[in-house]
Amino acid sequence: MSAVFIARAVGLLSASFILGALIVGRLAGPPEETVARDWRRRLKWAGALLAVPLGITALAVLVSGGLLHRGGLALVAHVVATALWVGLLLPLFLLPRSEASGQTARSVRSATALALTFAAVGGASVALLVWTVPGGLPALAGTRYGRLLLAQATLIVFALVPVARMTVSQYRVRQGPVSPANVKPRLAVLGPAIVVGLASVAVAAALVGFSASGPEPIVWPLPFRFAPALMWSSPTERARAIVGFGILVPGLLTLIAAVRLRSVRPLLIAAGILFVTAGAYQALISLSIDAYPTTYARPSVSDTPASVRRGRGLFLANCAVCHGDDGRGDGPAAARLLQRPADLTSPHTADHMPGDIFWWVTHGLGLAMPPFGDRLSVDERWDIVNFVRTLPGPLPPRASRRILEPVS
C-alpha cells in the first residue's frame, strides 16, 4: 500500500465529506433554528479539519498523473458520483438528536434522495467501465484493474439497498410525527451504508492510479474457463449440465418462497442456498474446460507467416521426435512413451486457446511432454504456438475470439 494511494484515498474521503457538508448545510434550514445552527457548526469544524488532507491529496493526484489515466470520462464521473453519494451520508452522523423540525426532516429526506441518485449514477458509470474494459471477461478476472472494477460494482450493488431503505423511510416521516427518532436514519441502516461507502471510496482511489501506457498482462486466476459451446456437444457433459440446472431451479424457487413464508424462512434460505450452490457448481463444471494462468495471455509475437516459419523450424528441432514432422503424434519416440503424444492435426487443437498451448510448451503436459521454458525464449515459444495452430486447418471463430493483439 503506497503513500500516494493512502494520500489519494484520504483526500477523496475528505473531498466527499466537504462536498456533502456543503450540500447538506444548504439543506439544513434557517440558521435561527437551533438544530440547524448546531448541525452547521459541527459540519464547519469537521470540514475545516478535513481541508488540509484534501489539499495534500489533490497534490498527490496531480503528481501521480490525474484522473484520466484509464477509463476516461466514465471514471471521472464514477469518482465524482462516489464522492457525492458517500459525502451526503457522512454528515448525517453529525445530526443532533436533541430536537427535530419539519425543515430538518425535509433536509435529511433530500440528502438521502440525492445520495440514492448519485449512487445510481456511480453504479451506471462503473457498469460502463466494466462493459468497456479492454479484454472483456478475461481482463476483468485476470487483471488487478478488472478485479477492482468488479469489486466496485459489487460494493455499489450492496450500497444501493440501505441507501434506498433510508430514502423510503425518510419519505414516510411525512406520515407521522417529526422527532429525532424518525428523522435521523437508524444506525442499523446508516452504518452498513457508510462502511460500504468507505470501501467504495478506497476502491475509487485505487482505480484513479492506473496507467494507460499499456494493457496489463492477463493472468487467469481459475483452473477452468466457461466454454458451453464446446462442452454442450458432449452427451455426457450435456447430461451433467442438465442435472445441475435441475438442482439450481428448485433452489431459486425455494429462496423465492422464503420471502413469503416467514415461519420457516431460515430453513428455506439454508436449503435454497445449498441447492443453488450445488446446482450452479455442477452446471458450471460440466460446461467448463481446463484453463491455465496464460490461457488469455496476449501473445508477444504476431501470428504472421514469418512467425509460422520460425515456429515450424523450432517444432522440428524440439517437438517432432514425439509429435512427428506433421504433428500427428507418430514421431520416432512416440512408441516408447507411457502416454501417446497428442495428434495436433485433430480438431481438438483448435478448441484450445493459444495461451493453453503456450502453457504446455512452457511447463510440459502429462507424463511424457517435458517443459521447454528453460530451453526456448518467450518469443520462440509463441512462434511454436503460431505454427501448431495452423495444423488443424482454418480455425473456427470459437477458438480465436477474445484473443487480443500482441503487445507492441
pLDDT, tens digit (0-9, with 9 covering 90-100), for 8-45: 777 777 777 777 777 776 665 555 454 555 655 655 55
Q: What is the model's pLDDT at position 396? A: 43
Closest to 129 (Cα-Cα) out of 75, 197, 203, 85? 75
The SS3 call for residue 399 is helix
Asked whether 53 and 10 are in contact (CB, 8 A), the reply is yes
183-203 average pLDDT score: 82
CA dihedral 3, 9, 15, 18 (to 10 degrees): -100
- Name residue 10's amino acid: V
- Taking only the tens place, the pLDDT of each residue in 218-228 is 899 989 888 88
Q: φ and ψ at 224, to 5 degrees?
A: -150, 165
The SS3 call for residue 58 is helix
Q: What is the model's pLDDT at position 175? A: 52
* pLDDT of residue 377 exceeding 90: yes
Helix-helix angle 144-172:72-89, to 10 degrees: 40
CA distances from 258 to 27, 81, 221, 245, 274 (A): 41, 35, 34, 20, 14
Distance of CA 189 to the CA centre of its chain: 25
- Taking only the tens place, the pLDDT of each residue in 107-131 is 777 788 888 988 999 999 999 988 8
Q: Which residue reads 430538518 in cell numbers? A: 104
- Name residue 224's amino acid: F
The SS3 call for residue 288 is strand
* pLDDT of residue 155 exceeding 80: yes
Q: What is the model's pLDDT at position 212? A: 52
Q: Which residue reads 511454436 in cell numbers? A: 384
Provide the β-strand partners of residue 224: 290
At 232, is the pLDDT very low, low, confident or very high (cuts 50, 70, 90)? confident
Q: What is the model's pLDDT at position 363? A: 93
- Taking only the tens place, the pLDDT of each residue in 383-397 is 999 999 998 865 444
- The vertex-396 CA angle with 392 and 397, nearest 5°, equals 150
- Taking only the tens place, the pLDDT of each residue in 270-283 is 999 999 999 998 98
Rounded Cα gap, residues 151 and 191, in angstroms:
20
At 361, is the pLDDT very low, low, confident or very high (cuts 50, 70, 90)? very high
Average pLDDT, the chain: 79
Question: By percentage, how much of the chain surpasses pLDDT 90?
Answer: 24
Contacts 24+ apart (CB under 8 A), 186-190: 189/162, 189/165, 190/89, 190/92, 190/93, 190/162, 190/166
* pLDDT of residue 247 exceeding 80: yes
Grid cell listed for 82: 462516489
315-339 average pLDDT score: 88
* pLDDT of residue 187 exceeding 60: yes
Element at 176 (helix H, strand E): none
At 341, is the pLDDT very low, low, confident or very high (cuts 50, 70, 90)? confident
Weakest mean pLDDT among 3-17, 30-44, 90-104, 250-264: 30-44
Enumerate helices (H) and strands (E) in the chain, giving the number of each: 16, 2
Buried b (16+ CB within 10 A) or exposed e, 198-224: bbbbbbbbbbbbbeeeebbebbbeeee
* pLDDT of residue 407 exceeding 90: no
- Taking only the tens place, the pLDDT of each residue in 40-68 is 565 555 555 555 555 555 545 544 554 44
Asked whether 83 and 15 are in contact (CB, 8 A), the reply is yes
Range 305-400: architecture per CATH: Orthogonal Bundle (1.10)
Closest to 140 (Cα-Cα) out of 132, 1, 74? 132
Going along 303-363, which residue ranges are E strands? none
Helix-helix angle 144-172:187-208, to 10 degrees: 150
Asked whether 278 and 298 are in contact (CB, 8 A), the reply is no
